[in-house]
Structure formats: structure tokens, C-alpha cells
Structure 1
Amino acid sequence: MGIDRKDLVDSARSRSDIYGLLSTVFRREPSQDLIKRMRSDSLLGTFTGLGVELGERFYNDRESEVVEELAIEYARLFIGPGQHISAHESIFNEADGEMGGLWGVKTVEVKKFIQATGLEYGKNFTGLPDHISVELEFMQKLTEWEADKWLQEDRESAEQCQLVQHKFLEQHLLCWVNSFCDAVLDQAEIPFYRVMAELTKQYMEFERQSIATDTAA
């Protein structure tokens, strides 16, 4: 018995939503709009289903206070000026047996991979292609495409899109994101980023198992 087309569309859209949320969380200091969105009933239900607990203060403190606290924590964790976590694949993923630096071999590989799909960076983008938020956003776009292809009953294109996702996960995200998240878990001082790092790890494991299941099918 085949999987219902609606289920395939819904699954791809759900994955896209999760990738989009995680990308936004790690892209920059949280905005007030993001805090409102994360406090919404729809995401609260999603978080509850995933076993995510952001803590009473996240939901009960004034939004402006939450934004300020998280902005300070984001800067301390990912920007500096002191010791901080570089959220780039080239820092965590080995290339030719050696750890790289910014604009390393992995950065170039990710840049070429993304461009090969026809996606382009925004005109105002000044970051590096292998930042975690960029890689997660790339997966968000791929899963959006997949959902659209299932909706159009274009099975061949949808399955091709899945193969591209699998390849990018296996060659990039799954190779380094756990190490990045472990660094966040070790250095975060307030619950929010620890919880987001743990959620990201859990979701990467879900994706890893999904690939194994698809390969075995």
C-alpha cells in the first residue's frame, strides 16, 4: 500500500517548518517576533510533542526581557569578543584528515553544493555558506520544494529532491552538527540555547534514521 500523497506533502512541510525554526534560532539574536512565535499555541503544542521544555521564565517574563537576555547569551556564545563557538562546518568537520578554519575546504564544498541546486544567496548576505543557519535554511528550501512536487504529483522530482537532501545531510550536516550542539550544551548558561541544541541533535538523529529506513526500503 502506497503512502497517501497528502501525508507526503504534510511530512515535507513539517520538516521544512522545523528546519526553518532551527535556522532562525541560530542565525542571529532572537527578535521579539520570534519569541511571540515560539510562545504561540501551535508551537507550544509542537514543543510539547517533542518533549521540549523552554522553562517558566521563557513564557512568563516580558517579551522584551526575554529578548534582551537571549541577545546577551547569543553574543556570548556565538559572536564574542571573547572565546566563543564558531557556528561553521569548516571548524568542526575534518577535511583531508585535518580540521579547517573559516573559508576552509568544507566552506567551499557547501557553497558549490548549494549553488548546484540553482539556489542563490540573498543580495545582502555577507556570512559564510557553511554557517549552521545557512545549512539548515538550505534544508528548509529543499523540503519546501519536495512538498510542492508531491502536491503537483511530480513523484520523480520529489524523490530526486529527497536524494539531494540525503546527500547533503550525509556529506555535511550529519558530520558536524552534533559536535556543534555539544559545544553549545557545554557552554550555554540559560536553558533556551541548551534546549535548542538538544532539539537539533534529536532532529538530526531522526533524519539519520529516516535516511537509513529509506535506503533499506
Structure 2
Amino acid sequence: MNSTSKPLHIQLQSFLLARKNYYELLHLLFLVPTNDEFLLIIRNYGNLQELEEIHEGGRILRNFFDHLTDEQIQREYEEFHRLFVGPGPLVAPPWESYYRSREHLLFEEWTYQIREQYHHFGLQFKNENNEPDDHLLFELEFMVRLVDLCLQETRTEEIVALISSQIHFLEKHLTIWVPYFCKRIIEHTSSQLYLGAAMLLEDLLSFDLTTLLEVREALSSVRQEESERAIIK
């Protein structure tokens, strides 16, 4: 990053927008596949061609969406419920507490840690206390919200703080339990949609954390340079 050219928030814009797009794609992939219009949105706007070139999960998803049929949509709807909803024992429960609790219980301490994070940024789950706050979809939505806040911010110090919040959320939550969630999907589904989605989810979270750590370090160096210039003036 070149602190002497464009303002930092402008330099970061394309990076942040790309991250937002990927998190929105992951969110879409784990929503219930209710109709062909919904799945066509993913096919047409999900950057699948780009993902196909860089990731095996992307290749699997591109192949799935290129051969999508009405019959396939119905099968994926049934598979979604088998994996994540029920009835019956769930193959891959989509709640953090399930994987971090020794007894696989919900509404454990991690649920309330997540809730505190939401509240800190002015968010509240509408079904709080009735449904666990640590559902995969809510955690992905939260990451999109943090990226949006970064995009709206112009002050370097506040951008660094927001990036640190995202790093914390990835390190303390998503990258801890999501690999186990993805492993269960990969081992127990023949669905190309959910196989590709699980592979992509795990690797993108890991990659995002690594990238954010590098960006925070670079931004910290820029802040130091800005402070030194302010002292000289």
C-alpha cells in the first residue's frame, strides 16, 4: 500500500468489495434452495468462472450450475433439509455451539459471545432467545456487515479497528468450528452443490484470515508513517 498516493480507504475499496461479494456468495450457497430463480442468481452473479480457475470447490460449483435442472433443484432442496434442518438427526448442524460444546448442545457460551459481538455493532437477532444466534448464516451476515462498515469508513484508525474485529471473529469463531461443519458435509453428501460449497467455505475463511492479518500489518505501518510525518510538521 502506498500511503503517498490515493487515500487508504480508496486503495482498500476493491479489496473490500471482493471480500463482501465472496461472503454474500457463501451466504447464498447455504440458504434453502427454494427455486430456480434463486439458484440462477448464484450462477449469474457468483463469480463462479473466477472461482473455477482458482479452487476445486469453485470448479465443482461451476459444473453443478452449468447443468442445473428442475429435478436437480428438488433434490438439492431435499438434501438441504437432510443436512441442516431435519426432520431426523442432522448430518451437519449449522450452529457453532454444537461443535464447540462437549455434549453438542445449543445456546452455550459461544452463542452469547456471538450475541455480544452483534450488540457491540448495533445488531440484534430478531429471534434472540428463541433461536441460537450462532447459526452459520448469521455469522456470515455479520462478516458482511463488518465489511460494509469498513467501506463506509474513511479514517485509517477506524478501518484498522474494524479489520481487527473481523480478524477476532474469524480467529475466535468461524475458523474454529466451520472446518468440522464442512468435514461432516464433505463426508456425508453426494450433492455437488453442498460438496463445492463446503470446500469453498472452509478455504475462503482461512484465506480471508491470512489476508486480513497481512493488511492489518501493512495498515499499521502506514499509521506509523502518518504519525511520524505529523510530528515533523
Tell me the TM-score normalized by structure 1: 0.85
* Whole-angstrom distance in 2 between the partners of 1:79 and 1:55: 25
- Which of 90, 96, 99 is matched with 1:89 structurally? 96
Pair 1:78-2:79 in alignment = no
Name the amino acid aligned to 1:129: D
Computed over aligned residues only, the root mean square deviation of the Cα atoms, in angstroms, reads: 2.5
Cα distance change on mapping 1:30 and 1:11 into 2, 3 Å: farther
Residues 23-172 of structure 1 aligned to structure 2 (within 5 Å): 23-40=27-44, 43-51=47-55, 52-53=58-59, 54=61, 56-62=63-69, 64-84=70-90, 85-94=92-101, 98-122=102-126, 127-149=131-153, 153-172=154-173
Match for residue 210 of structure 2?
209
Question: How far apart are 1:34 and its partner, in Å?
Answer: 2.7
Query: Structure 1: which 5+ residue stretches go unaligned?
Result: none
Answer whether contact 2:36 2:73 (CA < 8 A) is retained.
yes
After TM superposition, the score normalised by the length of structure 2 is: 0.80
Deviation at 1:11, TM superposition (A): 1.0
How far residue 105 of structure 1 moved from its aligned partner, in angstroms, is: 1.3
Is the Cα contact below 8 Å between 1:142 and 1:165 reproduced in 2?
yes
Amino acid at match of 2:206: E
Match status 1:189 vs 2:195:
no
Opposite residue 197 of structure 1, the aligned amino acid is A
SS at match of 1:40: helix
In the aligned structure 2, how far is the partner of 1:42 from the partner of 1:201?
A: 17
Name the SS for the 2:12 alignment partner. Answer: helix
Q: Structure 2 CA distance, aligned partners of 1:56 and 1:192?
A: 9
Displacement after TM superposition at 1:111 (Å): 1.1
Q: Which amino acid aligns with 2:122?
A: G
Letter in 2 for 1:74: F
The number of residues matched between the two structures is: 210
- Distance in 2 between residues matched to 1:114 and 1:73, nearest whole Å: 30
Q: What is the aligned-residue identity percentage?
A: 23
Distance change in 2, residues 1:169/1:41 (3 Å): closer
Deviations 1:158-179, CA, capped at 9 Å, x for gaps: 2221111111111111111111
Q: Secondary structure at the match of 1:27?
A: coil
